[in-house]
Amino acid sequence: MSGFTTRSIQPRFLKKDPHGSLHMPIYESVAFEADSAEELEASFRGRRPAHVYSRISNPTVEHFEQKVKALAGAEGVTAVSSGMAAIAALILAIAGQGDNILTTRHIFGNTYSLFSSTLQGWGLETLYADLTDLAAVENLITDKTRAIFVETITNPQLEVADLAGLAAIARRKNILLIADSTLTPPYLFDARQHGVHIEIVSSTKYISGGATSLGGLIIDYAAYDWRHNPHLAADALKFGPYALLNRLKTRVCRDLGNALSPHNAYLQSLGLETLALRAKVSCANTLALAEFLRGRPQVRRVNYPGLPDAPAYALAQKQFPNGAAALLTFELADRAACFRFLNKLQLIRRATNLNDNKTLIVHPASTIFSEFSAELKAEMGVPETLIRLAVGIEDLADLQEDLAQALEAV
Ligand SMILES: *Cc1c(COP(=O)(O)O)cnc(C)c1O
């Protein structure tokens, strides 16, 4: 099999383009016609593979899904309108009232809100565990637990999930292991090799190629026996390992209307082609900046799992051999020092995103986590002293210079 970047550039179209286009064109059309009433009937009944209506499927979106599938070594991919849409659709497909999902409070703030507020209101419970304590995780699981949901590297705590350990628990309990690997998409992380059943990626981040567009991916490795999930057990008899993929396409995504736009699919297909190049540079920049910041007297603590003395270093090396993601955090004396520092930056942008080509910085406690109480923020590992740096692909010396001059102001 060829290398990652070769595979990301070379996949063929499912149908030959009439003009020999090298890029999949943007099919900005809602509906697709059939030659006869019989053909249209066959398409609606799923007997003739054809695009009918873009909320359900679209050639440009399908091509993007095929590209991700080839890169991840997956069995099927569903691309939707955002990372949050991907998580919501997946959970709605696999769980319902009276069920529970096991996760952690050290999780992306909007995902936490989805679980603890939105879905809770519909009768789905969330169990919160310390995912670094595998025995505690296993003890919390009940016969209503449908999945363990983790982030490969949590944001902004930068805790690294022990996926082999979690996969062993999921296997013993016959439940699904879902990993949100937005921080470590394919190239940085091989989900299948680490026992993940379903991988979620916000393609808004690394894959969009510089924060060009919103998108989300549900990547299915067809590794779970759906007979163990009461919502999909009947479908499993018919579709086997493809029960979830079928349910998402033919019902959940169709009914939710969370389709990825063809234009965004086009941008993200382009983004995939340079994913490995950009990831290499931004991960190398992050490690260098972590070392640089650690040497500064104003900086109390630097957190990056790629630092050799970080608690999660060995695990990060094993799971993410191509780079431990492009996100680091560090602490200054107090909130006022953080604000003074942020306000002095000239090159680095004050904005809340990650894996842009630009380096972005944010004070999580006063922004992403501002809706949570002080106690909850403490429990979520977001102190007032914390700064999050999402590192881009600029020249390292320029980033160092900007950080150094702003630290002088602290
Ligand atoms: C950004 C992000 C999401 C949500 O993705 P959107 O595309 O913004 O909806 C989910 N999980 C993680 C870890 C993220 O960083």
Q: What residues does each domain of the chain span?
A: 4-272, 276-407
The CATH code of domain 4-272 reads 3.40.640.10
Using CA atoms, how far apart are residues 344 and 28, in angstroms rounded to an integer? 43
Q: Write the pLDDT tens digit of every residue in 117-152.
A: 999 999 999 999 998 899 999 999 999 999 999 999
Q: Work out the pLDDT band at 78, boundaries 50, 70, 90.
A: very high
Which of 151, 201, 198 lies closest to 319, judged by CA?
A: 151
pLDDT of 372 reads: 87
Nearest atom (ligand 1) to Cα of 354:
15
Task: Give pTM, 2 decimals.
Answer: 0.96
pLDDT 10s digits, 32-76: 999 999 999 998 888 888 999 999 999 999 999 999 999 999 999
With cut-offs at 50, 70 and 90, classify the pLDDT of residue 1.
low
In angstroms, what is the span from residue 382 Cα to ligand 1's centroid? 17
Topology given in CATH for the domain delimited by 276-407: Aspartate Aminotransferase, domain 1 (3.90.1150)
Going from the Cα of 84 to the center of ligand 1, the distance in angstroms, rounded, reads 6
Average pLDDT of the segment spanning 10-19: 86
Q: How many CB atoms lie within 10 A of CB 228?
A: 14
Distance set, CA 96 to CA 109, 119, 201, 344 (Å): 22, 9, 22, 48
With a 6 Å cutoff on the Cβ, whether 152 touches ligand 1 is no
CA-closest residue to ligand 1 atom 10 = 83
303 touches 328 (CB < 8 A)? yes
Mean pLDDT, the chain, whole residue set? 95
273 has pLDDT over 80: yes
Whether residue 309 is predicted with pLDDT greater than 90 in this model: the reply is yes
Residue 367, token pair as written in the block:
């922004």
Q: Tell which one of 103, 182, 189, 353 to mutate to probe ligand 1, the residue whose CB is within 8 A of the most ligand atoms.
A: 182
Q: What percent of the chain is predicted at pLDDT more than 90?
A: 89
**397 CA distance to ligand 1 middle (Å):** 29
pLDDT tens per residue, range 173-193: 999 999 999 999 999 999 999
- pLDDT at position 379: 83
Residue bearing the CA closest to ligand 1, atom 8: 83
Is 271's C-beta closer than 6 angstroms to any atom of ligand 1? no
**Torsions phi, psi for 218 (to 5 deg):** -110, 110
Nearest CA residue ID for atom 4, ligand 1? 83
Percent of the chain residues topping a pLDDT of 70: 100
Task: Please tell me the distance between residue 405's alpha carbon and the centre of ligand 1 in angstroms.
Answer: 31
Contact 398, 392 (CB under 8 A): no
**Dist. CA 110 → ligand 1 center (Å):** 8
Give which of 150, 171, 50 is closest to 107, Cα–Cα: 150
pLDDT at 305 over 90: yes
Q: 183-231 pLDDT, tens per residue?
A: 999 999 999 999 999 999 999 999 999 999 999 999 999 999 999 999 9
390 pocket-lining for ligand 1 (C-beta < 6 Å) = no
